[in-house]
Amino acid sequence: MKPQFKTLDQFIIEKQADFPNAKGELSRLLRDLGIAAKVVNREINRAGLAGVLGETDCVNIQGECQQRLDVYANEQFITALKRGSECSAVVSEENDEPVIFDSPLPGKGSYIVAIDPLDGSSNIDVNVGVGTIFSIYRRVNSSAIKPHDLLQDGNQQVAAGYVIYGSSTMLVYTTGNGVNGFTLDPFLGEFCLSYPDMMIPDQGRIYSVNEGNYNRFPESVKQYIRYCQEEDQPTGRPYSSRYIGSLVADFHRNLIKGGIFIYPPMIGAPNGKLRLVYECNPMAMIIEQAGGVASDGQTRILDLEVRGLHQRSALFIGSKAMVKKAMEMIELYSEVYQS
């Protein structure tokens, strides 16, 4: 698709008209996220030369060893959001507790940001695509930050997006009025509109799941994988199996080409492994705005009750027809799924 050479900043300002009661705070917040993404992108591109590859000695609340670039990306996004003053608190995968900015300027700090600063960071050492996922909520309480400010359900999001750092760097986001993608022009140093009004095909030919965990999957998911592998020309099967191990990269490919991404509940992880607040909810908002579907296998992702900042969830997300078929399998094998 031919780029329109409209920068992210220009696009955001034009779209302010979609929020007649807004005063530009959300636009400035989105620009702050875009600036931080450029800084992180620069460091990723020179990671092998800058000596920032590999693990730190720290473990995050998920029990995962933090990569050096996890820590760097987390610091850059938090710093950018604090300086911008439109954000009053950040919930991050890399922090046990929310980061609350004590003294927002008068009339500022209207938003809460949930973020996975560097999704798939363990892939950086082998030069595989990684990304940033973010979610934005409007602050509920006007005085001190309260738990209900931080534990809002996904259907309360005012914006969501991701950045994918790969062969080219793209920022994709929605404010509830469609999905648009911007590619970073390395010469201009600007994100330029390259994928306007993104829509996922209703039917795809790609399924993305870590089949190394196959024996731990519920019977319904095993049956769906077998269905994907069966020969049936009228439906385009067998489907192609594509799994990168980075949610952003797998999601982005399927968004463009059509497909389904699955991270199911399984033995050892009965609630799934992905984080609801800063992974599943933002991706669910994006996919629904692009005409797709997101479910935990039984409930629409955006309708799930958020009970904790690092709450986990299963995820079935992608093309409408493919997710619908997976849900039919789950219903058919519901007793096995629930056991």
Distance of CA 69 to the CA centre of its chain: 18
Strand 190-195 relative to strand 130-138: parallel, antiparallel, unpaired?
unpaired
Give me the pLDDT at residue 106, please: 53
Q: Contact 80/32 with Cβ under 8 angstroms?
A: yes
Q: Give the pLDDT band of residue 49 (cuts 50, 70, 90).
A: very low
Q: Tens of pLDDT along 217-227?
A: 999 999 999 99
What mean pLDDT do residues 307-325 have?
A: 97
Residues whose CB is less than 8 angstroms from the CB of residue 334 and which lie 6 or more positions away in sequence, other chains included: 220
* Both tokens assigned to 159: 């914006």
Give me the pLDDT at residue 166, please: 82
Residues annotated in the binding site, as ranges? 93, 116, 118-122, 210, 243, 273, 279
Q: Is the pLDDT of residue 337 over 50?
A: no
* Segment (H or E) for 169: strand 169-174
Residues annotated in the binding site for Mg(2+), as ranges? 93, 116, 118-119, 279
Residues annotated in the binding site for substrate, as ranges? 119-122, 210, 243, 273
What Å distances lie between residue 227 and 93, 153, 205, 235, 239, CA to CA? 34, 33, 12, 11, 9
Strand-pairing partners, residue 207, are 241, 260
Q: What is the pTM of this model?
A: 0.92
Which of 17-31, 96-110, 319-333 is most confident? 319-333
Q: Tens of pLDDT along 255-295?
A: 999 999 999 999 999 999 999 999 999 999 999 999 999 99
At position 4, the amino acid (one-letter code) is Q
Rounded percentage of the chain residues whose pLDDT exceeds 90: 69
Better-scored residue on pLDDT, 293 or 51: 293
Domains of the chain: 8-195 (3.30.540.10), 206-338 (3.40.190.80)
Q: Tens of pLDDT along 219-254?
A: 999 999 999 999 998 888 999 999 998 999 999 999
Is 58 strand, coil or helix? strand
Q: Is the pLDDT of residue 336 over 50?
A: no
Strand-pairing partners, residue 318, are 260, 293
Task: Determine if residue 85 is left, alpha or beta; phi over 0 gives left, psi from -120 to 50 gives alpha, anything else beta.
Answer: left
What mean pLDDT do residues 311-320 have?
A: 98
Q: Contact 265/216 with Cβ under 8 angstroms?
A: no
Q: Which of 43-47, 169-173, 244-248 has the lowest mean pLDDT?
A: 43-47
In eight-state DSSP terms, residue 279 is I
Mean pLDDT estimate for the chain: 88
